[in-house]
Structure formats: structure tokens, C-alpha cells
Structure 1
Amino acid sequence: MSSATSAADRAGAAVTVPWVALWEGESRVEPLRRDPASGFLRYAQEEPEDRDEHGVLWMRHIGPQGQGRPLFSQTHSRRQRQCMVSSLCQICGERIEPEDGRLPWLLPAREYGSRPKLVHTTGTPPTCRSCWAPAVELCPHLRTEGAKTLSVGKVVHWGAAGLLHTPGERALRWTACGYEDSEPDVLKRLLAETRLVVLQDVREVPLTD
């Protein structure tokens, strides 16, 4: 699903299937190879966008966006990363322009918690203000459990979460790795699915003005 051309369209139609959501037609992933000597993960034919600026390999989905059923509980790894890195709205896919140097963010109430906080770590991408109200209204999860609408002063890119290969183990296990906290060899054994950021100078704001 491509991003809409106007705020009205984005707030109405695009929210039905968030831009970041994975579709059934693109749910297959590219097979991985493991370097027998180092245990590092790689694709047979790597593309520049397969790794981020820290050398971490990202899951590559196969198939076209918009084909089949939308899988609302899953996100497309590359689109999730694009939202985090380029400040794109996870609902409509449009770039979010900061307001007075601050970014709008919409989080499930359960993830954020019941108490206000100044710092929060998340894998949930930002959401533009135009998409706040329709997202809360149309998303069953947010409608049932509630949402927190936030204004964020600073975003720090902490790391990535995904499947980590440990030498001597056949299975991959879900792990979160910090870019600065993890050894380079560990990062090269990670197949990332989710970009993790730390939100700083967080303020709760009303859903609508």
C-alpha cells in the first residue's frame, strides 16, 4: 500500500492498513547462509540496503506490498526501519515534520504504562498527528486497550531486535542488541527485524487539540 496524497486520504483510507504492516503476499523471507568460519549471517546475494549503518543484517521480505491479506500484528522489517530512521509515519508512510523541534508519537497504553515518564524505549515507529484519531478509532487493539499520545524532544537510535545466531547452537533466538553495547561479532550474527529507539524528553499531550 503506497502512502496517500493528502492528509484527508491518509486519515481515512490509509489507516485501514498501516503502511508499516506486513502483507500475506510479502510474508516469505529470503533464505540465510551462515559463514562456516565466523558464524556470521548473510544472504547469497546481498544488496546495500540489507545492512544498516552499523553492519547489522536485516530481514528481507519477498513479495509485493498489498497482495493477499494484511497481517496487522506483524510489521515489514524494512519499512519499520525506514519509519524510525527517516521519521516516517507508520500509518500513512509520509515524512513527519517536527513541530518546534518535537516529533509526535502514538503508543499502545499497555506498552507505555500508566505513569508519565521522560524516557521510553520502543520499537513502535512514530505516527503523525493526522493519523492519531483515526488510528485510535479504527485499530481494535488501541480502541480496546487505549493509547498514549506523546510529543518527543529527542530520538536516540539504541539498537535492533531480531534473531541471533549463537555459535554451537542450531536455533536462532530473539535478542535485543545495542549498537554501542554489543561486540561487532555479535551484531554480525543478528538478523534484525525491529529498530529500537530511546525517546527522550517525552511529554503526554491530548489526542486532539
Structure 2
Amino acid sequence: MPLLTPYVASRSSDRGTLQSALGIGFTAKGPHLVYRDERPEDRDKHGNLWVRVEESDDPGHIQYDSLHPTRQRTCMEQLLCQICARPADRNKDGWLFIDWRRQDSPPTWPEKSLTTMPPLCTEHAHISTHQCPFLRRDEHLLLRVRKPHLHGVAGTLYTLTTTGWTTTDNGQLSPYNQPQYPGMLASLLIRQLHGVKVVDHP
């Protein structure tokens, strides 16, 4: 069986935001990160600025361990399958997710786990557990999730210096229930899994 190309996977030829595109905006709360030519679609409804991804005509190669920000966000917001971008499977026990234990997983894992991986349809959940090298290597569980709450974003954190914006942290989490970082450039949408039931098969 040929390897699947996940809809959310990035490609080596994808190009992210250039630092020269970033500017400084001012509000009553002080300076914050903006695009010099910012468009309404650059921010989500919570006000987070999102990274722009420029796709090349050169398809490059698939990066299975890297998520495409725009496609990941679309699947997470609309609960679409991360492989085919069609509606993820949902039954009386909830949406279908796969999750694995990480160093920062809560003691209640998989309950209240934070995930950047969108849900799946039944067909592709089955195939993923057999094809994905990360799932074959790490402890993982197939889950039904009644309440996959939108939790926040993660991305690159910039700090304003006398010479402009400087990157200080990559992979910074910014929960919706906490004040936003003025220098956050979001690249991943995060859900927290509540009402979790471990299942044996899709």
C-alpha cells in the first residue's frame, strides 16, 4: 500500500514569513507584532497573528513531522480529517482522535491532553496506525472525544528590541484564557481533549 500524503503535512519547498514582512503596531496596551501589509485573514477571531506560508511550484518532498499552518488550522477549526480534509468521524462517543504520550502530557492523559493533531475519519485512522512511523514507535491511543475544546495557539514568539523584532522562542503556547503575547506569530491551533474514551478500533 503506498504511503498516504496527509493533507496537514508541510513540504520542504514551503516558505514561511520573512522577518522583513513584520512591523510594529501600537494600541493602548503598547506595541505588538503586525504585518506591514496586514490583511483581515492574517488574524483569527481571537486576534492572533498567523504565519503566512508561500507555496512553491516545486512540490519538494513531504515533511511528515511538520504541519502546514494553514491546513492544520483549517482541519482543527472545522474538525476535518487530517489526512483527507473531509469531515472527521463522529459517533455517540465523540470525534475520532489519535494521541500519544509526551513529556508534557498531563497526569490524566489522555484526558485533558493538548493536541495539535486534527481528528481523523475512520478509514484513515486505521491506515495511519499501520503506516505512520511515529505511531509505530511511540505509545499511542485511539480515542473518542466528546468535547475537543479549542484551547489556544502555539508559534514563534518575538521580542521587540531597539533594532526591531527578534525571535526568542519557537513552539510557545498561548492559551485563549490568558493574555496574548504581543509578539506571537501563531503557526498551530491547539485543542484540549475532554470527555475521552479509549477505543480498540475506529
Alignment TM class, shorter chain as reference: 0.7 to 0.9
Corresponding position: 1:91 with 2:79? no
State which drifts further: 159-168 or 22-31.
22-31
Q: Is 1:148 paired with 2:148?
A: no
Higher alpha-carbon deviation: 30-39 or 121-130: 30-39
Q: Which amino acid aligns with 1:85?
A: E
Q: How does 1:158-197 map to 2 (within 5 A)?
A: 158-168=151-161, 170-174=166-170, 175-183=172-180, 186=181, 188-197=182-191
Aligned counterpart, 1:52: 44
Q: Which residue of 1 aligns with 2:197?
A: 203
Q: For structure 1, which runs of at least 5 residues remain unmatched after alignment?
A: 1-11
SS at match of 2:195: strand
- Structure number with the higher helix fraction is 1
Provide the aligned C-alpha RMSD in A.
2.6
Q: Please show how residues 48-87 of structure 1 align to structure 2 within 5 Å.
A: 48-64=40-56, 67-87=59-79
Any unmatched runs of 5+ in structure 2? none
Using the size of structure 2 for normalisation, the TM-score is 0.83
Stretch deviating more after TM superposition (105-114 or 54-63): 105-114
Contact map agreement 2:100 2:139 (CA 8 A) in 1: yes
User: 1:65, 1:158 → 2: CA distance?
Assistant: 34
Correspondence 1:123 to 2:116: yes
Q: Does 1:27 align with 2:21?
A: no
Partner of 1:136: 129
Q: Distance in 1 between matches of 2:116 and 2:138?
A: 18
Question: For each residue in 1:154-179, what CA deviation from the matched residue of structure 2 results, as whole angstroms up to 9, or x when unmatched?
Answer: 02111111112233473331321111
% identical equivalent positions: 26
Cα pair 2:12 2:61 within 8 Å, conserved: yes
* Equivalent residues of 2:79, 2:88 under 8 A apart: yes
Q: Separation in 1 of the partners of 2:57 and 2:129? A: 24
Measured in 2, the distance between the counterparts of 1:26 and 1:36 equals 27
Native 8 Å contact 2:148 2:191 kept in 1: yes
1:23·1:65 contact (CA, 8 Å) conserved in 2?
no
Change (3 A) 1:121 1:20: same
Instruction: Confirm whether residue 18 of structure 1 aligns to residue 18 of structure 2.
Output: no
Say how many residue pairs are matched: 193
Alpha-carbon contact 1:23-1:66 (below 8 Å) kept: no
Report the Cα distance in structure 1 between the residues aligned to 2:63 and 2:113, rounded to whole angstroms. Answer: 26
The alignment partner of 2:81 has SS state of: coil
Structure with more of its chain in strand, by fraction: 2
Q: Which residue of 2 aligns with 1:5?
A: none
The answer to whether the 8 A contact 1:136-1:146 is kept is no
State how far apart, in whole Å, the 2-side matches of 1:118 and 1:190 are.
Answer: 27
Letter in 1 for 2:122: R
Work out the CA distance in 2 between the residues paired with 1:144 and 1:49.
38
